[in-house]
Amino acid sequence: MLWLYLHFPHLLLDHIHRNQPSTGALAIVDGAGHTVVQACPNARDFGIEAGMRLKTALGLAPELSIMRTEARQEAWLLEDQARWLYRYAAHITLSPPDGIWAEVSSLQKLYGGLPSIWQTVEQALAERKLTAWVAIGHTPQAAQLLARAGKGECTADKHHILASVGSLPLPAAGFDEKSCTRLQRLGLNTLAEVFALPPTELARRLSPELLAMVQKIQGTRPDPKAPWQPPHSFRQKADFIHEVEHTEGLLFSLQRILSELEEDLCWRQQDTDTLLLILQHRHQQATRLRIRTTGPEHRAEMFLKLIRLKLDHPPLSAPVTGLILAVKRFTGREAPLGRDLLGETEDLDEAWHTLISRLQARLGEQSLKRLAARADHRPECAWSANNPGKPGKLRPQASVTLPRRPLWLLKAPRPLAQPPETWHSGPERISGGWWDGQRVHRDYYIAQLPGGELAWVFRDVQGGWFIHGWFG
Amino acid sequence: MSDLLSSLLQDARVWQGHKHRKTTQPAEPTGYQVLDNQLGGLGWPRGALSECLLDALGIGELHLVLPLMQRLSEQGKTVFWLNPPHTPYAPALAREGVNLDHLVVINTDDQGDFLWTLENCLRSPVTGLVLAWPGKLASRDIRRLQLASEAGGNVCVLFRSRRQADQNSPAALRLELVPGDHQDLKVNIIKRRGSWPGQRCSLALGHRADITTQDSSRVVQGPWPRSQG
């Protein structure tokens, strides 16, 4: 078995750099805000290093931008990396906080050899502007040690790998501090010297755990790794060093996230119709926006157009410090229907979805309605308004049997102010609703009012006269 | 004739009424032969705005567009109702043979949203007909809508108050609707692109309330107390 290990030396920095076009000196500090965790090359030029106290760092570079990390943030980021790596390798194991294993011996045939696997991974890293140290080892531990030391080579030769691991100094071996000191006191400096010790003595004099670790590096003790399964959801976060006040500033990182979403959906062969966009503010509760399309969609540009509408109207309530885009609903992709082979005719289905989604994004979902008739005798209950969905192919049966009704129905009956000029037909008695408490007991007439309008008027039980509709 | 005038005539820069030829702008028949004849045998102009000016609802204004609505919804085109003053009553529309699946009713809160929505609807290829009830419209807004309508090539009918009849409007067709004495609808053409205005006709729309004859024999009893009348 061969293992590929990716070590991300500064994942948080990479993450932040991807969301802003350019930044000055930047340092990541821990949750409490006391210590520098990671420093970007610009900051290192000032002499800032990881582990330094924040006060010292600010003294060295007063212009330093500071980003605080969340405990979960790193885990999420690592999972993001695993998600794209999963497209290239089936067996992946996470090594929190900053590494991923991928089993590659089974992939050699698919990719045509180790060098091309290596190249594919390097290329994917470059596309995502990530810094990662890659190494291949015959055991997971060996690969990890080599990657962390930055001594990875593209080779499948076990002896060569063992020799490289053996040349590593003891502190790079990842042993606990106590064992490391004891080994050094024994006069051992490299891992190769530890490998040369007899196993029984190593276990007796130091600890059985240390022996297990050494054997895992060498490959004489099994070291199974449970495969990671990608979660069935999409979640991406972008943090901004400087607060973003205008929509345009958000679009840069939204565009990147959305194109990653598109890629993700393409890989899954899925579509989605709901996006959740959370905008975080410094002093205010986060704004949660739900972006819905009327039909399944996967293209980044369509999502971006809808989000742009949503953000422009109303404008941002407060400056944004970070944004999260999450997708939880996925639908299987359907082949587009009714399109000719050459794609010359306009796809009306798609145009319909685009238009309705746009309108819903700006006006709100409740502003658009599709009407339907309902089987009820009471006029106000004989219709319903639904969300517009794509019209089905099923034709409703011809409704010749429906009684004569006006085309306009008033939202609420209006008292009849002046007596009608002519009475045309009636009465039609409608009585019902005793079953749900909304009792209706009326006599309906069609009458012409002095203004020439034809109205649908009724008299209720109390003898009051009301207009309930217009024959438009 | 002065030189100036003859040169203008030669350049064909002056439109002359007697040389008027039939226009061939795209149009949809209204479904009423009488009205179509008055509109040069064409009907509702496509890719342009039409205005209906009326004082009160219930005079048959929806029946004027109903044949078109029927036809378009049957063809699978979407019919938008934008800010209708009352609820379009679904059972009545279904009875008239309108496919309710292709009807979308939109209500907007403010004028900005209204114009934006109308413009989007007009520009979309899925739209067949837009019925809109704007409040006040600035002339600039109408011109903008007119351009959107030209881009989309669908029928748009704006229902406005008769008070705006005197106001100048870039709409291609302007109809004044007045109720007649016998449940009919008098249509007065105020403006029509490519021809003279001023034609009038009357459409019998008594069938909208199942009124066939003039007598009111079908009423069991005129229930209105005479004393109050």
Query: Is the CB of residue A359 less than 8 Å away from at least one CB of chain B?
Result: yes
CA B220/CA B229 separation, integer angstroms: 19
Sign of the CA dihedral running A84, A85, A90, A96: negative
Under an 8 A CB cutoff, do B89 and A448 touch? no
pTM of the entire predicted model = 0.65
**Average pLDDT for residues A177-194, to the nearest whole number?**
88
Q: What is the token pair recorded at A168?
A: 């590593």
Q: Residue A388: list chain B partners with CB under 8 A.
A: 104
Contacts of B7 (CB under 8 A, 6+ apart): none
Give Rg (Cα) of chain B: 20
Residue-level pLDDT at B229? 37
Residue-level pLDDT at A293? 78
Residue-level pLDDT at A258? 92
Nearest to A11 by CA among A82, A61, A65: A82
1.10.3210.10, 3.40.50.20, 2.40.50.100, 3.30.70.270: CATH of A3-24+63-218: 3.30.70.270
Task: Please give, rounded to a whole number of angstroms, the shortest distance from the CA of A337 to a CA of chain B.
Answer: 16
Architecture field, domain A245-331+352-362: 2-Layer Sandwich (3.30)
**Digitized pLDDT (tens) for each residue of chain B, 229 residues in all:** 678 878 877 776 676 666 555 556 788 888 888 888 888 778 898 888 999 999 888 888 999 999 999 999 888 889 999 999 999 999 899 888 888 888 999 999 888 889 889 988 998 888 999 999 998 888 888 888 888 888 888 899 999 998 888 888 888 889 999 988 888 888 998 888 877 778 888 888 888 877 765 444 555 555 555 444 3
Residue-level pLDDT at A408? 92
Residue-level pLDDT at A13? 84
Given the DSSP bridges, would you call strands A65-68 and A92-95 parallel, antiparallel or unpaired?
A: unpaired
This complex has an ipTM of 0.83
**Average pLDDT for residues A378-383, to the nearest whole number?**
88
Is the preceding peptide bond at A314 cis, omega within 30 degrees of 0? yes
Query: For A19-37, what is each residue's pLDDT tens digit?
Result: 776 667 888 888 777 888 8
Q: Residue B100: list chain A partners with CB under 8 A.
A: 370-373, 396
Query: For A387-440, what is each residue's pLDDT tens digit?
Result: 887 655 455 555 557 788 899 999 999 998 888 888 888 788 988 888 888 888
Nearest to B216 among A368, A422, A443 (CB): A422
At residue A466, what is the residue type?
A: F
CA B59/CA B54 separation, integer angstroms: 9
Distance between alpha carbon A306 and the CA centroid of its chain, in Å?
16
Tell me how many degrees the CA angle B187-B193-B199 measures, rounded to the nearest 5: 30
> What percentage of chain A has pLDDT greater than the value 90?
14
Under an 8 A CB cutoff, do A453 and B211 touch? no
Query: For B18-73, what is each residue's pLDDT tens digit?
Result: 655 555 678 888 888 888 888 877 889 888 899 999 988 888 899 999 999 999 98
Q: Residue B108: list chain A partners with CB under 8 A.
A: 363, 367
Q: What's the DSSP call for residue B2?
A: -
Task: Please give, rounded to a whole number of angstroms, the shortest distance from the CA of B171 to a CA of chain A.
Answer: 23
Task: Please give, rounded to a whole number of angstroms, the shortest distance from the CA of B63 to a CA of chain A.
Answer: 6
Under an 8 A CB cutoff, do B125 and A348 touch? yes
Residue-level pLDDT at B180? 85
Q: At A280, is the secondary structure helix, strand, or coil?
A: strand
Residue of chain A nearest B215, judged by CA positions: A424
Query: For A306-338, what is each residue's pLDDT tens digit?
Result: 888 888 877 888 889 889 999 988 877 766 555
Task: Please give, rounded to a whole number of angstroms, the shortest distance from the CA of B77 to a CA of chain A.
Answer: 10
- Domain chopping of chain B, boundaries: 24-206
Query: For A265-321, what is each residue's pLDDT tens digit?
Result: 888 888 888 889 999 898 889 888 888 877 778 888 888 988 888 888 778 888 898
Query: For A41-86, what is each residue's pLDDT tens digit?
Result: 888 888 888 888 888 888 888 888 888 877 788 888 898 889 889 8
Longest alpha-carbon distance in chain B? 76
Residue-level pLDDT at A340? 56
Q: Which fold has domain B24-206?
A: Rossmann fold (3.40.50)
Query: Is the CB of residue A459 less than 8 Å away from at least one CB of chain B?
Result: yes
Residue-level pLDDT at A425? 82
Query: Which H helix or E strand runs over A148?
Result: helix A140-149
Under an 8 A CB cutoff, do B183 and A454 touch? yes
